[in-house]
């Protein structure tokens, strides 16, 4: 895939004028494993997850970490919603430095390990705190490893987000969610010409229609309980009306005009671990300020009114429960709360 003209460092986004959108998927594939002799062994307190609340790919990791109760085992650094051509920065922290890594940019952790790192500087990334170098930025594997390799540190009552009996079916469900929906909105927004946009638009809404049909008869993508598949879809759905519908021209329908998907998204949003990780203000700031070729004025829209995220969804009638035999996570860890007013107003 081309790595010309990097637009921003959200899990490797690139566009070449006059062509279809390409995503650089050549990630650092090292894994943190709970097995003897692992180069990067599972070890509480050793690693720091670096995210940006604006980024949908990083958002997956914040949800999974919270649902599984890994806050005490894996610390989290939060970049600001905007960045320059070099990388995401820790501009929300005092003195602009991550308080654990003591660096101003996530780029510094990449260069600490790979001085000539040639690819996109992306979030999420896991950093080895003792060495200060990035271990991995392979976002799809990070969340699966949280579920399968960090089990010793899961909270009591943590859900099984990657059930072994469902994995083959889950992979079939998640594959088009990634190619057609998660990546599809970017394919619309970063299309290099009309034909590329038209094709991306058709593919996106064809898959959303498939998901709309699937969710009419069951509460979650895999049945009665939440799984990794729901998390991967949610992070795109929650950004759809505030950003993708207008900014990326994914405008056949708003999410709120697709009944099953809209009810499903609200059901998840109102589940602990999902809505309490959403920062709508930072999400809008990122897309509308950083993408200057799409939005040269950098004006961030005031709308839409997001209080409808707290309205009744009625999905309980389909049966099931989000956590199965498990329990919901407790309160958000101190210091990781979404800033008051940056999510949905309480008085919905």
CA angle 266, 212, 181 (to 5 degrees): 85
- As a whole number of angstroms, the distance between CA 116 and CA 3 comes to 15
Contact between residue 101 and residue 129 where contact means Cβ atoms under 8 Å apart? yes
Contact 17, 192 (CB under 8 A): yes
Which residues on neighbouring strands pair with residue 78, listed in sequence order? Answer: 51
Residue-wise over 73-95: b if at least 16 C-beta within 10 A, else e?
Answer: bbbbbbbbbbbeeebbbbebbee
Between CA 121 and CA 14 the distance in angstroms is: 12
57 marked as part of a ligand binding site: no
Q: Which residues are catalytic?
A: 55, 186
Give the residue among 133, 123, 132 at the shortest CA–CA distance from 282.
123
Residues that constitute the known binding site for glutathione:
88
Residues that constitute the known binding site:
88
């Amino acid at each position: 895939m081309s790595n010309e003209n990097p637009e921003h460092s959200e899990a490797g986004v690139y566009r070449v004028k006059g062509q279809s959108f390409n995503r650089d998927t050549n990630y650092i594939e090292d894994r943190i494993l709970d097995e003897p002799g692992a180069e990067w062994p599972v070890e509480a307190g050793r690693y720091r997850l670096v995210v940006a609340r604006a980024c949908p790919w990083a958002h997956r990791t914040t949800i999974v970490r919270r649902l599984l109760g890994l806050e005490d085992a894996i610390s989290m650094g939060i970049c600001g919603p905007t960045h320059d051509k070099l990388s995401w920065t820790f501009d929300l922290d005092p003195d602009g430095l991550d308080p654990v890594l003591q660096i101003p940019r996530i780029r510094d952790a990449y260069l600490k390990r790979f001085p000539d790192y040639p690819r996109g500087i992306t979030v999420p990334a896991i950093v080895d705190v003792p060495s200060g170098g990035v271990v991995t930025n392979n976002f799809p594997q990070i969340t699966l490893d949280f579920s399968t390799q960090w089990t010793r540190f899961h909270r009591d009552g943590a859900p099984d987000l990657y059930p072994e009996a469902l994995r083959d079916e889950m992979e079939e469900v998640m594959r088009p969610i990634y190619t057609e929906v998660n990546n599809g909105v970017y394919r619309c927004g970063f299309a290099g010409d009309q034909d590329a946009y038209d094709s991306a638009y058709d593919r996106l809404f064809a898959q959303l229609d498939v998901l709309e049909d699937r969710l009419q008869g069951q509460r979650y993508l895999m049945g009665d309980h939440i799984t990794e598949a729901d998390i991967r879809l949610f992070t795109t759905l929650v950004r759809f009306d505030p950003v993708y519908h207008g900014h990326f021209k994914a405008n056949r329908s708003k999410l709120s005009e697709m009944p099953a998907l809209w009810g499903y998204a609200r059901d998840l949003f109102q589940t602990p671990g999902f809505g309490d990780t959403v920062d709508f203000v930072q999400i809008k700031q990122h897309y509308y300020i950083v993408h200057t070729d799409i939005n040269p004025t950098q004006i961030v829209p005031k709308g839409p009114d997001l209080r409808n995220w707290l309205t009744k969804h009625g999905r309980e009638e389909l049966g099931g429960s989000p956590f199965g035999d498990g329990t919901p996570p407790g309160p958000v860890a101190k210091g990781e709360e979404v800033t008051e007013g940056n999510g949905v107003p309480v008085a919905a």
